Structure 1
Amino acid sequence: MPVTLNMNMAMPSWFDIIGLSLGSQEDETGIKQAAESVKALTEQEVKNGIPSNRIIWGGFSQGGALFLYTDTDRTAEAGRRRSSQLRASFPWGPISGVNRDISILQCHGDLGPLVPLMCGSFTAERLKTFVNPASVTFKTYGGMMHSSCQQEVMNSKQFIDKLLPRID
C-alpha cells in the first residue's frame, strides 16, 4: 500500500505510517481495519480446526505492534507475539480475561534509528501495567539495528517451543 513516510510509494504495510516521532499523527482507521483483518484471519484458522490456544501471532516492527494492539484490544482472542511499538492508537489500560495472561516476547536492537530502543523499552514497561508482568519478556540485542539477528531468531524459536509443545 502507499505509505506517507515512504513518499507515498507502495511498500508492504498493514496501515499508513505518517511519521515516526512521538507526536506524529497515526492512521487510526487503518490500524483498526488491520486489527479486524487479523481477527478475521484468526477466526478462520479456528474454524479450520486450529485451537485458539495454539495460534501464535508474530511480526516485525509495524506487524508486531499491530499484533500487540490486536491482542490487547478488549475483544481480541488470546495470542502471543514479538514486537516493537505503537503509540497513540494503542488501547493502553488494564485488561482482564483470557488476554491478561498472554505471553509476549518483544525483541529490539540497541542501534535502531528507525524505532529507538527507548520506544521499545517504554512499550514493554507499559505492557506490564495491563497484562501479567511475568508474561512479558523484553530482549535487546547489542549492535542490531532495525533488523533481526541469529540470537533473536533462536530466542523466538525457544519462545514458540515453550508455548507450543509438540502434539504427537
Structure 2
Amino acid sequence: MVFSTLKQEKPVLIEAPGKAQKVVIWLHGLGADGHDFEEIVPHLSLPEQHGIRFIFPHAPISPVTINGGMQMHSWYDIRSENLLEDVDAAGVRVSCYRVFELIENQIKEGITASNIYLAGFSQGGLVALNAALSGQYSLGGVIALSTYCPMAEQFYLHRDMPILMLHGEQDPVVPIHIAEASRDAIQKGGYQVEWHSFDMQHQVCAEELVQIGEWLQART
C-alpha cells in the first residue's frame, strides 16, 4: 500500500551511528515542524552505538479551525475543545497514510516492520497511535506523548504491540483526565499500556526523555 500522491516536505533525518538497525518515526505537535524534536536525541541517554535512525516528518500546512483558520503545520483539523467527540477523522486517516508511506520506505531499505517505532507529541501522538494500532504492519511499538485517542474503540489489530503513554499532570491543552480516559479506552480494547505522568504542563521534561530512552533500549 503506497500513497505516493501525498506530497510531503522532506523529513528531518538523524542517521544512526553505524548501520541502522531500528527506526523511530517521530511526529511533532500542532504548529511545530519536523525540527521540533530534532535536538532530543542526545538527551535520550542511548548507547553510543545505538543503531537507531530517527525520522522527523513535517505535517502539511493547513487551516486550523480552533485557531481562527490560521494556516500552520497540522496533522488534522481541530474544530473545538471537545477533543474526544469532535474529531477530524478524515484528516487523521490522511496523516496515517503519510506515516504508512514512511514505514514502507523504511521497509524497502531493509528495516523490518518489527524494528520500526512510531512516536508523537500531542497531535502527532494521536496520529502515531492510530497509525500503529490500525495499520497493516505489526511495528515494534508506539510512544504517545501528551496526547489523547478518541477513536480507540476502532482498534483491534496488533494487541501485543508495546505502547508507552506519557503525560503532564498540569497539562492545560490536553488535560490529564482526557489522556487517562484515552488510556483506559485503549486498555479496554485488550492492549497493554505503560503509563507515566510527570509534574509538567504540555511539554516534555528531562525525566520523561530518560524514560523514553530506557524504553527504547529495552527493545533494541
Tell me which protein shows more helix as a share of its residues.
1
> What's the RMSD between the two structures over aligned residues?
1.7
**Residue in 2 aligned with 1:26?**
87
Distance 1:63 1:137 in 2: 18
Q: 1:8 to 1:24 in 2, by over 3 A?
A: farther
CA distance in 2, matches of 1:21, 1:156: 29
1:115 CA drift (Å): 0.4
SS of 1:39's equivalent in the other structure is: helix
- Specify the alignment match of 1:138 in structure 2: 195
List alignment gaps of at least 5 residues for structure 1: none
Matched, 1:128 2:187: yes
Dislocated runs of 4+, deviation >6 Å: none
In structure 1, C-alpha distance between the alignment counterparts of 2:175 and 2:181, rounded to whole Å: 10
1:78 Cα shift? 2.0
Q: 2:100 & 2:137 partners in 1: Cα distance?
A: 8
The 5 Å alignment of 1:145-156 reads 145-156=201-212
Aligned mate of 2:148, from 60, 66, 85: 85
- In the alignment, is residue 58 of structure 1 matched against residue 119 of structure 2? yes
**What is the match of residue 157 of structure 1?**
213
The alpha carbon displacement at 1:24 in A equals: 5.2
Q: Percent identity?
A: 26
- The 8 Å contact of residues 143 and 163 in structure 2, kept in 1 or not, is answered as yes
Cα distance change, pair 37–18 in 1 and its aligned pair in 2 (3 A): same
TM-score for both structures, normalised by structure 2: 0.66
Tell me the CA shift for residue 102 of structure 1.
Answer: 0.6
SS of 2:77's partner is coil
2:218 is paired with a residue whose SS is helix
Matched-pair contact (CA < 8 Å) for 1:108–1:120: yes
Q: What count of residue pairs does the alignment treat as equivalent? A: 156
Q: Measure, in 1, the Cα distance between the counterparts of 2:138 and 2:184.
A: 20
Measured in 1, the distance between the counterparts of 2:211 and 2:174 equals: 20
The one of the two structures with greater contact order (alpha-carbon pairs below 8 A, sep at least 6) is: 2
In structure 2, the gaps of 5 or more residues are 1-60
Shift of 1:18: 1.0
Check the 8 A contact 1:94/1:131 in 2, yes or no. no
Contact kept in structure 1, 2:152 and 2:185, CA below 8 Å: no
Matched, 1:41 2:102: yes
Shift of residue 100, structure 1, vs aligned partner: 1.1
Match of 1:106 in 2: 165
